[in-house]
Chains A and B, each alone.
Chain A
Amino acid sequence: MKFRLLLETLLVCCLAGQLQAQDSTRFRYGVQFRYQPVDFFAGVGASLNQKNIQHEVQLNTGVNSTFFQRRFYPQISYRFSWFPVNRRWIQTGPVGITNLSMRRFNKASAHGYSYEEQLLAGVSVGCGQKSRVRFTIAGGLAMEQNWSFMVQKQVTYFSWTFLGELSYSYAF
């Protein structure tokens, strides 16, 4: 209950300026499993739906790193979706996703942290109204900040990345 309240508060705070009519909004909660080149991520999410627009916040964790290597790999994700096709049984349209993640990969070093930021664009297809399954694919830019042992400072590496995500959500 506290967790749900926290997520709702977070969403409302983030989107306060965009809330127009309470009766046109709808909260959804769900779980998702996504593949990214660096790891598989699994987590929970909450979304705010306003007509054809959806704002969603997700909290994920890298499965391989967290569960098979005992190294917590959290990721916070915000996604914006627009559904030009928004029928009762199918919703599809473009999505914009931004991910922030962090991992301590070298415990022997005080600088053994890696920070990743990603900005992706893609499409999603959802099925269902109250109970919804959705598949998303997206690609975009990835930035990774590591401490460089060679130059003794934080260095940013740019590259391309993508994700494929399967999610399930339920509207209350």
Chain B
Amino acid sequence: MNRRIAAVLFLISFSSFDVFAAENLKSHIKAEVVSDRSSVQPGERFYAGIHFKMDPDWHIYWRNAGDSGIPTVIDWKLPEGVRAGPLLWPFPKKIQMEEITSYGYDDEIILLNEMTISENFSSHQLTLEADVTWLGCEKICVPGKSSPSLTLPVSSSASEPSENNEKIQNTLTSLPEPFLEPLKGKVSGSNVTLELPEEWGTKKEILFYPYEDNWLDHGAPQKISKVETGWVLKTKKSSIAPAFSDSTIKPGIIAINEGEKVYEVEIDFIQSKNEDASLLGHLTFKPSGTLLLAIGALGFFFFCNKIRGK
């Protein structure tokens, strides 16, 4: 037999079970460095980030990946004199796959950092390089890794906006704004209640996305409802949630009407153990059903007795 054909057949015979070797490691996610400036000036601040482009149906993950997935990581390798601020995460999409709820981005997204270049930066060029790792998933998941870079001229004259400036400005306006007051939260059994400011009560949709992955039931519905004290968002705790202490603070973001407004918030939980608050929490939920049943049962017994009486 022709040697080449034999080699091909040999490969084919292995390919279906060859899982240790790279199966289909074609990258479905592209990552490149973008900046809002086409040149930079020592002493100024500017934005740089990673522009991710996903193939259709593919996604990467937010800082809290949710039930499955791994957060995207950007590790800048910057020359001396250049510092990166915290990574700025736009609010994510909920990705629902059967029973599993994750948080991430599809299509395209820019994850930015604010950069500061020192006054004494003396080189004529600045190379912005980052080690980027992500988990890309469609129906299947493929981990990705790359080290993209961008080199910008450094000049003493005022810097110019780059071709990506508009996209970056749009990304900046979609970032969560800090919400100054912590919101009050309550946990009672598996029920989680977040108190909302009065003016949010009329909003169509309010979604809370926690930064930590282990305490909220990511798949549970989040419902706005009116109670005596005002408007609340009702949802569920995860069955793996660690115990809440007297004043557990949980950070996250709140997105109103699909990102019409996004706030970074802290939820201040007062874990009510056997107090009235927890009783009330129960009353609004379970016993109301039991009460109905009791009334129904009573009625049924009266009905039975009446028949027996005849």
Do A and B interact with each other, yes or no? no
Interface residues of chain A, those whose CB is within 8 Å of chain B, are none
Interface residues of chain B, those whose CB is within 8 Å of chain A, are none
